[in-house]
């Protein structure tokens, strides 16, 4: 397989497009390096459409090099003139070799200090689910509360980010997090993503990326879907009643056209998953259906259009969290349920349009509009008979008819100050969420009374500017500032009947506004092609729930997060890549809104200090090793010693694996994930237990056929996935309840087999 690059140079601006010579498809995210006769280096990365450009270059002789994992590197001379020039470069495909990676200039976005790490992971590590996609973020851990249907609980950099309060997720530019959600602030359910359609993951740890605002405190992740795919059918089946079928159809053949005479691609993917999970006494009966369609076309030499649409729906039962004493006293087994009525349904529809224009001077204008329609109907029971000793404490949370409208716009341009490049990015964002939220008291999914119900309207508008200036060819600074404006509105729907659960606060009508300005600064030194040093500092924030904002005079509507970090990405050996970072995050207030009890919880300011280590090493021609080790020490600043632990904040986590991948279609991976014990409350009197789980995957593809075997939890260890310190009361126990660890058990050994046919 080859790549073809056609180049033109005009007004001392070099630009081109990288495509596959066999399929004529764009080859995205290719590192393109340019070196002049004096040894000065320039570098860029092709975008998702394969386009790249170098701005305002002096005429003369240059050396152009292209490098991408899976291809042999190529270098050739290029004479930059003001005349139009076409050059063809052919890259022969090869096995994945870490020696091809150059640390310096390996990303178009300086916030992605883990870009090289992620490019290796997404190529080598097995991805079989939406959870696997999220776990590609180094140091990120997940916990599922209930049957696979709810958004996962996210842990990163010392944060228990719940379902997304402190970690922002994007899918082709569309925000996944939802503010003022019925179940959790910043709720980020990524199950609508089909893993086989994901091509690229960009990871941003900390508060340093100007393009991100709300929820991007511990970090952010952006997932990009493929522009083109192979048509295929895949079926999976496994133990305990698991099965999945997935198909992708390429809708436009080679050299075919739909809207324009230029290159176009279109495909549609669909999947249906069913998992009984019969190891639970109360089977989970998780069922999910996804469908996704995408069109990407070059309307003209300068303009590209992307159209996307998706639909997702799932339903499930859940066993919920059970107290340790319920198991030790023999009331239920480890996989038992105290309230078998838990579970729910959810659905999300997305529409996305992106128009990208590249001007003659190399500037890039991007306009994006998107729409989502979302619903959740959730039944849970956390405290059992603590409050209502007759009917129990079951609750029903609904996020009904949420409409999400949004726009993202950006303009990127390059100018020269002397001989040095200045890149400017100006961006505008706006997003509006509107829908109906409710919290009700229920027993066995029968509604008993209403705690609160009302209509939400919340809008966030933002503008930002980001400047990247090269003082020399190896030292550069990235400085930016972002301004966010929030409008909160909540209208309570009367009448609300008194609840038999507890004296909940009743939210009335109200509106509120708030501004937030977030400056950011990063310094980089490309010491050599194999060593990069960086230091970063930046402000971020996460928003609070609109129901609390409009009902109180609290000054913590948008608590500030100050992040700071020093680190390095380097290659000590040709086939070893290392990223290290020492970091800290100060959060103005661990302000949370607990949707389960309809109460605002203000916990005070915190500080987290930590260290990250990621290593990728190629042991031989086809053997690869990876390890991530992440440490965090977090405490409440204003609390007395011994009472200042941050509940559920991870302390020490690690994932590692060894992978075999050949050019002839065989791959195998053996991986572990480890999380240490951590405090479950601020006094550390209750401990959330750590775990060590190992998984294995084997795949083999020959021509049009592929077969795979996956074994999760190889050693069948007992481990707890979700864990909380909760005051609960079981039937027959004294009034007042018992404060104890409650948990959702992790899955036992699971075996899955998959078969695929490509056509």
Instruction: State pLDDT tens for residues 112-128.
Output: 667 778 878 888 887 77
Residue 648 has a pLDDT of 93
Please check whether residue 232 is in contact with residue 759, taking contact to mean a CB–CB distance below 8 angstroms: yes
Task: Measure the CA–CA gap between 37 and 63, rounded to whole angstroms.
Answer: 8
Task: Measure the CA–CA gap between 464 and 517, rounded to whole angstroms.
Answer: 10
Question: Residues near 354 by Cβ (< 8 Å), separated by ≥ 6?
Answer: 172, 173, 305, 306, 366, 367, 368
Please check whether residue 484 is in contact with residue 213, taking contact to mean a CB–CB distance below 8 angstroms: yes
Question: Residues near 531 by Cβ (< 8 Å), separated by ≥ 6?
Answer: 103, 104, 568, 569, 570, 571
Task: Measure the CA–CA gap between 302 and 534, rounded to whole angstroms.
Answer: 35
Residue 276: band (very low, low, confident or very high) from pLDDT cuts 50, 70, 90: very high
Q: Which helix (H) or strand (E) holds 373?
A: strand 364-380
- Pick the more confident residue, 12 or 248: 248
Task: Measure the CA–CA gap between 233 and 471, rounded to whole angstroms.
Answer: 52
Closest by alpha carbon to 466, among 526, 550, 522, 408?
522
Task: Measure the CA–CA gap between 158 and 178, rounded to whole angstroms.
Answer: 22
Residue 97 has a pLDDT of 84
Task: Measure the CA–CA gap between 269 and 273, rounded to whole angstroms.
Answer: 14
Residue-wise pLDDT for 381-405, tens only, equals: 999 999 999 999 999 999 999 999 9
- Pick the more confident residue, 359 or 84: 359
Residue 390 has a pLDDT of 93
Q: Which tokens in the block code for residue 93?
A: 């495909």
Please check whether residue 159 is in contact with residue 608, taking contact to mean a CB–CB distance below 8 angstroms: yes
Question: Residues near 245 by Cβ (< 8 Å), separated by ≥ 6?
Answer: 233, 234, 235, 236, 271, 272
Closest by alpha carbon to 614, among 44, 219, 224, 140?
140
Intra-chain end-to-end CA distance of the chain, in Å: 18
592: pLDDT strictly greater than 70: no
Question: Residues near 358 by Cβ (< 8 Å), separated by ≥ 6?
Answer: 15, 51, 53, 302, 303, 364
| Residues across the chain | 759
Q: How many CA atoms lie within 13 A of 29 on its CB side?
A: 21
Q: Which CATH number fits domain 115-758: 2.40.170.20, 3.50.50.60, 3.30.70.580, 2.60.40.10?
A: 2.40.170.20
Place of tokens 């997720």: 169
Question: Cβ of 510: how many Cβ atoms within 10 Å?
Answer: 16
Task: Measure the CA–CA gap between 194 and 467, rounded to whole angstroms.
Answer: 35
Residue 501 has a pLDDT of 54
Task: Measure the CA–CA gap between 105 and 624, rounded to whole angstroms.
Answer: 24
Question: Residues near 130 by Cβ (< 8 Å), separated by ≥ 6?
Answer: 190, 191, 193, 195
Task: Measure the CA–CA gap between 48 and 32, rounded to whole angstroms.
Answer: 14
Q: Give the rounded distance of the alpha carbon of 752 from its chain centre.
A: 25
616: pLDDT strictly greater than 70: yes
350: pLDDT strictly greater than 50: yes
- Pick the more confident residue, 443 or 112: 443
Closest by alpha carbon to 210, among 544, 588, 538?
538
436: pLDDT strictly greater than 70: yes
Residue 361 has a pLDDT of 81
Task: Measure the CA–CA gap between 121 and 614, rounded to whole angstroms.
Answer: 11
Residue 474 has a pLDDT of 85
Give bridge partners of residue 555 from the DSSP assignment: none
Residue-wise pLDDT for 711-752, tens only, equals: 999 999 999 999 999 999 999 999 999 999 999 999 999 999
Residue-wise pLDDT for 651-677, tens only, equals: 999 999 999 999 889 999 999 999 999
Q: Give the rounded distance of the alpha carbon of 72 from its chain centre.
A: 31
29: pLDDT strictly greater than 80: no
595: pLDDT strictly greater than 50: no
Q: What pTM value is reported for the model?
A: 0.91
Quickly name the fold that domain 3-94 has: Immunoglobulin-like (2.60.40)
What is the average pLDDT score of the chain? Answer: 89
Q: Determine the average pLDDT of the residues in 148-175.
A: 94
Provide, rounded to the nearest whole percent, the portion of the chain with pLDDT above 90.
66
1: pLDDT strictly greater than 50: no
488: pLDDT strictly greater than 60: yes
Task: Measure the CA–CA gap between 746 and 145, rounded to whole angstroms.
Answer: 10
Q: Where are the domains of the chain?
A: 3-94, 115-758
Q: Determine the average pLDDT of the residues in 178-189.
A: 94
Place of tokens 């020696």: 99
Residue 19 has a pLDDT of 72
Residue 248 has a pLDDT of 98
Task: Measure the CA–CA gap between 405 and 456, rounded to whole angstroms.
Answer: 14
Closest by alpha carbon to 130, among 243, 290, 241, 237?
290
Q: Is 450 left (phi over 0), alpha (psi -120 to 50) or beta?
A: beta
Extended strands (E) in 390-474: 395-417, 420-443, 446-470
Q: How many CA atoms lie within 13 A of 152 on its CB side?
A: 22
Q: If 0-12 CB within 10 Å is exposed, 13-18 middle and 19+ buried, where does residue 738 land?
A: middle
SS3 23: coil
Q: Which tokens in the block code for residue 157?
A: 């950099």
Q: Determine the average pLDDT of the residues in 23-40.
A: 74
- Pick the more confident residue, 98 or 616: 616
Please check whether residue 590 is in contact with residue 162, taking contact to mean a CB–CB distance below 8 angstroms: no
Question: In this structure, what DSSP letter does residue 195 have?
Answer: G
* Cα–Cα distance list, 272 to 231, 278, 287 (Å): 17, 18, 7
Mapped to the 3 state alphabet, what secondary structure does 467-498 carry? Answer: EEEECCCCEEEEEEEEEEEEEEEEEECCCCCC
Task: Measure the CA–CA gap between 630 and 613, rounded to whole angstroms.
Answer: 6
Residue-wise pLDDT for 516-538, tens only, equals: 999 999 999 999 888 999 999 99
Residue 591 has a pLDDT of 67
Question: In this structure, what DSSP letter does residue 152 have?
Answer: P
313: pLDDT strictly greater than 90: yes
Question: Residues near 553 by Cβ (< 8 Å), separated by ≥ 6?
Answer: none
Residue 278 has a pLDDT of 95
Closest by alpha carbon to 747, among 712, 723, 698, 711?
712
Handedness of CA 531, 115, 160, 657 (dihedral sign): negative
């Amino acid at each position: 397989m080859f790549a073809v690059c056609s180049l033109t140079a005009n007004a001392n601006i070099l630009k081109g497009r990288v495509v596959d010579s066999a399929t004529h498809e764009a080859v995205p995210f290719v590192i393109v390096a340019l070196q002049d006769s004096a040894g000065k280096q320039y570098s860029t990365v092709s975008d998702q459409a394969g386009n790249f450009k170098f701005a305002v270059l002096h005429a003369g002789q240059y050396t152009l090099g292209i490098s991408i994992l899976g291809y042999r590197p190529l270098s050739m001379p290029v004479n930059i003139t003001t005349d139009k020039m076409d050059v063809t470069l052919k890259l022969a495909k090869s096995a994945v070799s870490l020696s091809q990676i150059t640390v310096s200039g390996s990303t178009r976005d300086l916030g992605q200090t883990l870009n090289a790490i992620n490019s290796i992971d997404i190529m080598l590590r097995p991805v079989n689910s939406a959870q696997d996609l999220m776990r590609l973020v180094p140091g990120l851990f997940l916990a599922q509360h209930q049957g696979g249907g709810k958004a996962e609980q996210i842990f990163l950099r010392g944060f228990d980010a719940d379902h997304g309060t402190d970690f922002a997720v994007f899918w082709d530019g569309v925000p996944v997090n939802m503010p003022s959600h019925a179940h959790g602030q910043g709720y980020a359910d990524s199950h609508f993503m089909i893993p086989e359609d994901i091509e690229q993951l960009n990871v941003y740890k900390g508060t340093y990326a100007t393009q991100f605002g709300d929820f991007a405190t511990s970090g952010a992740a952006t997932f990009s879907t493929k522009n083109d795919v192979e048509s295929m059918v895949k079926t999976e089946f496994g133990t305990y009643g698991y099965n999945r079928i997935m198909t992708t159809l390429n809708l436009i053949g080679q050299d075919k056209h739909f809207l324009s005479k230029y290159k176009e691609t279109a495909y549609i993917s669909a999947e249906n998953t069913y998992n009984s999970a019969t190891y639970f006494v109360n089977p989970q009966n998780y069922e999910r259906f996804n469908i996704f369609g995408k069109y990407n076309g070059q309307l003209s030499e300068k303009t590209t259009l992307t159209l996307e649409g998706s639909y997702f729906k799932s339903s499930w039962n859940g066993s919920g969290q059970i107290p340790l004493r319920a198991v030790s006293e023999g009331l239920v087994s480890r996989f038992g349920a105290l309230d078998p009525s838990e579970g729910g349904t959810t659905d999300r529809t997305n529409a996305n349009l992106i128009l990208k224009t590249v001007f003659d001077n190399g500037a890039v204008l991007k306009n994006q509009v998107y729409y989502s329609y979302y619903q959740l109907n959730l039944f849970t029971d956390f405290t059992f008979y603590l409050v209502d000793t007759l009917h129990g404490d079951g609750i029903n949370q609904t996020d009904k008819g949420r409409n999400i409208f949004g726009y993202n716009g950006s303009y990127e341009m390059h100018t020269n100050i002397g001989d040095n490049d200045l890149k400017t990015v100006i961006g505008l964002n706006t997003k509006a969420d509107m829908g109906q939220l409710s919290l009700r008291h229920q027993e066995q999914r029968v509604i008993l009374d209403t705690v609160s119900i009302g209509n939400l309207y919340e809008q966030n508008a933002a503008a930002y500017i980001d400047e990247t200036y090269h003082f020399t060819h190896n030292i550069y600074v990235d400085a930016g500032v972002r301004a966010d404006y929030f409008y909160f509105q909540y209208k309570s729907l009367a009448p609300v009947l008194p609840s038999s659960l507890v004296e909940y606060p009743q939210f009335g009508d109200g509106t509120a506004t708030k501004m937030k300005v977030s400056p950011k600064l990063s310094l980089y030194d490309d010491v050599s092609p194999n060593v990069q040093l960086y230091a970063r500092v930046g402000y971020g924030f996460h928003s609070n729930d609109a129901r609390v904002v409009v009902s109180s005079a609290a000054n913590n509507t948008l608590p500030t997060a100050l992040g700071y970090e020093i680190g390095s990405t380097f290659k000590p050996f040709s086939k070893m890549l290392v990223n290290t970072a020492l970091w800290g995050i100060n959060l103005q207030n661990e302000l949370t809104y607990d949707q389960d009890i309809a109460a605002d919880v203000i916990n005070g300011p915190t500080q987290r200090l930590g260290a990250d280590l990621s290593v990728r090493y190629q042991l031989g021609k086809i053997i690869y090793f990876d390890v991530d080790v992440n440490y965090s020490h977090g405490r409440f600043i204003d609390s007395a010693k011994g009472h200042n632990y941050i509940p559920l904040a991870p302390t020490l986590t690690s994932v590692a694996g060894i992978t075999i991948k050949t050019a002839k279609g065989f791959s195998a991976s053996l991986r572990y994930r480890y999380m240490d014990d951590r405090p479950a409350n601020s006094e550390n009197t209750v401990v959330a237990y750590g775990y060590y789980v190992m998984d294995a995957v084997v795949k083999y593809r020959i021509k049009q056929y592929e077969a795979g075997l996956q074994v999760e939890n190889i050693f069948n260890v007992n481990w707890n996935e979700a864990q909380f310190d909760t005051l609960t009361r079981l039937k027959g126990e004294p009034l007042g309840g018992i404060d104890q660890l409650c948990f959702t058990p992790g899955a036992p050994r699971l075996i899955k087999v998959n078969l695929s046919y490509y056509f």
